[in-house]
Structures are given as C-alpha cells and as structure tokens.
Chain A
C-alpha cells in the first residue's frame, strides 16, 4: 500500500515537472512560430500580387482569401487552391489582378515525385531562367490552361503540370463567384 502511494507520488512529480517545463518552452517559442507563419503568408501573398503593400484577410463561404492593397485601394486578390496532384493534393496560392489576369503563383505545399513532378517548384524552367509557374502569368478565365497546348509541360510530369493548370482554373472560377 505504502509502495503504491510512493509510486503514484513519484510519477505525478515527474509528470508535473515535465508538463511545467514543456509549458515554459511552448510559451517561449509560440510567438516566434506564429510570427513565422504570418511572415510566410505575407511573403507568399506579396509574391503573387506584385506591389501589394498591405494585406487584408477575408472569408466568404469558408474560403479564405487575401486582398492585396496599395495606397488604400485593392490591386489584386490571392486565392488558395488545392488541386489533386500525382500522389497528394498540391496546395497553391494564385494571385489575380484587378483585370482578372493571373499575376503570380506560389506553391505552398506539394508531395509530387522528387525529380519529376516536384519540379513544379523549379526556378529555372528548361534553362529559360524563369520559374515554371511564371508561364501562367497573364492567363485569364478564357485561357485553355492545358499541358502541351498553352502551357509547357514538365518533362515526364504531365499529370503534375495539369494539376497546377487545374488549380489556376479553380482559382479563376472562384474569383468570378466572389467578386464582379
């Protein structure tokens, strides 16, 4: 009996000390983690809406989107889109300017095949010195958006290329639904 009490007490003391030190680490690192998250969103949004000085987050029908502002005026909108990739959904952010043209794309998360589909991230597409996703800039709701038609496909990764096309198409459609 005395032994059991002893065990329970020892175990509880260990639990309390562990939980206490974890709470301390949590409180200490949380601001930094949140700051990083915010900074990443900012970076992604400003990379797809060039020239945006301020970002406003809005939510309509459970769809989060970001409005890029400059001098108090909206200059573009960034919409999250998650098309089906080759092995898992691709998370991307599509920036669309006031005229309804794509102004930039950022791939936030992807699990495509390394060396093939994962090249959607490439910064030097076929030696042009431009990123793969840059070829979508200027496309709009009327564009075909298909691999090997108006979009150059990645070698050996037509499915991933078409997945990005699909993501852009969805974003363009969403944009028409939420705003004139």
Chain B
C-alpha cells in the first residue's frame, strides 16, 4: 500500500508539480520549435513518451549493472548519451519503415530528440534520486506524459492565437514565451497538491 502511494506521488510530482517543460525547463528547444501545429505536437509527444521510457530502462540497467559495479561512474555522461543516440536511431528507422506518414510530419525533429535534454535529464535524475527500476519507469512515464500534455495544450493555444491581433513586436516567438509564462503560472498552482 505504502509502495503504491509512493509510486503515485512520484507520478504526479513528475507529471504536474515539477512539469518537465514549464517548471524544470527541459526539452524546450523542441517545445518552441514544433508546437505551432497540432499534428506534429501529437507525433512529438508520443515519440518522447516512447523514447523516454525505453532510454530510462536501458540507462538504469547500464548504470546499476555495469558502470556502478565496475566503478566507472565517470563514464556516465558519455555512455548515456551514446546509448540514447543509438536508441533514437533505431526508433527513427522503425518509424520511417512502418509509419511513413508520421515520419514525414515530424520532419527534422526526430533526430533532434537525441539532443532533447529532457530524455538525458530523466536518465540522470533516475540515478541522482536513487530510484528503483520500477520507480524509474513510473517517473519517466510521468515526465513524458507531462511533456506530451503540455506541448498539446500549447499547440492548441498557438493555433488559435495565429489569427489574433498581436502587436507586431510580439508576433512569433515573443508571444509564445509569454503564453508559456502564463501556463507556467497556472502550473505553479499544482505545487502543494497531493500532500507533497
């Protein structure tokens, strides 16, 4: 029971309270780059959920069964990024072959997922927070779901905003940042929920 409660609080903390995009500021390049269309946001959101779960599982195993026992902790940064880069390549091949429509809509952003710092950050944080394997997976799922939900909401807002009369100076990225600020303000409201 206690364990279920613990996993639940890890999930919600990752999903809403410490939202990866709005509160932790990770993965922002793709966030602003890709969020002007609804479909690409859906594609990116699912890709991030998929890659983040797998890369968390693999990097956790790599650290706890190879790097730590062999005292090679100093290779953590290098090995994690290489493993994640390889995983993303595999995923790219798979999507290209089996889901060509999705592949076209994602354009150049799929290779960029390698340098999506959110993926690597979650791999590091799983180690820093001393999470067990299950906790890591729950954490990765919460984080990536938070990413997907926020990027979708944001794309929805930006699509509607494209027809709004915005002062010339603020058109484009400036207004996007200010929108993000207001969303972040709303997300701060989750902070003390769930007794955490």
Contacts and interface: CB of A to CB of B under 8 A. Distances in A.
Q: Do A and B touch, yes or no (CB under 8 Å, in the complex)?
A: yes
A24 B192 CA distance: 45
Contact of B192 (A18, A19, A87): A87
20 contacts: A18-B78, A19-B75, A19-B78, A22-B74, A22-B75, A22-B78, A23-B74, A25-B74, A26-B73, A26-B74, A84-B195, A84-B196, A86-B191, A86-B192, A87-B18, A87-B192, A87-B196, A88-B13, A113-B191, A159-B192
Nearest to A27: B74
A80 to B, nearest CB: 15
Nearest to B73: A26
Given A22-B74, A87-B192, A87-B196, 9 more contacts: A22-B75, A22-B78, A25-B74, A26-B74, A86-B191, A87-B17, A87-B18, A87-B191, A159-B192
Nearest to A25: B74
Q: What interface size band does chain B fall in?
A: 10 to 19
Interface string B12-31: 01000110000000000000
A159 B196 CA distance: 11
Nearest to A19: B75
A23 B76 CA distance: 12
Residue in B17, B18, B75 with the greatest tally of chain A CB atoms within 10 Å: B75
Looking at chain B's contact residues, the main secondary structure is helix
Contacts, number: 23
Interface in A1-32: 18-19, 22-23, 25-26
A22 to B, nearest CB: 5
A110 to B, nearest CB: 14
Interface of A: 18-19, 22-23, 25-26, 84, 86-88, 113, 159
B42 to A, nearest CB: 30
Contacts of B192: 86-87, 159
Interface string B53-79: 000000000000000000001110010
A86 B191 CA distance: 7
A26 B75 CA distance: 10
B48 to A, nearest CB: 24
B82 to A, nearest CB: 9
B2 to A, nearest CB: 14
Nearest to A18: B78
B96 to A, nearest CB: 23
A26 B78 CA distance: 14
Q: Which 7 A-B pairs have the closest CB atoms?
A: A26-B74, A22-B74, A87-B191, A86-B192, A19-B75, A84-B196, A159-B192
Contacts of B74: 22-23, 25-26
B130 to A, nearest CB: 13
Nearest to B192: A86
Interface string B162-196: 00000000000000000000000000000110011
Nearest to A84: B196
A19 B196 CA distance: 41
Contacts of B17: 87
A113 B78 CA distance: 33
Nearest to A87: B191
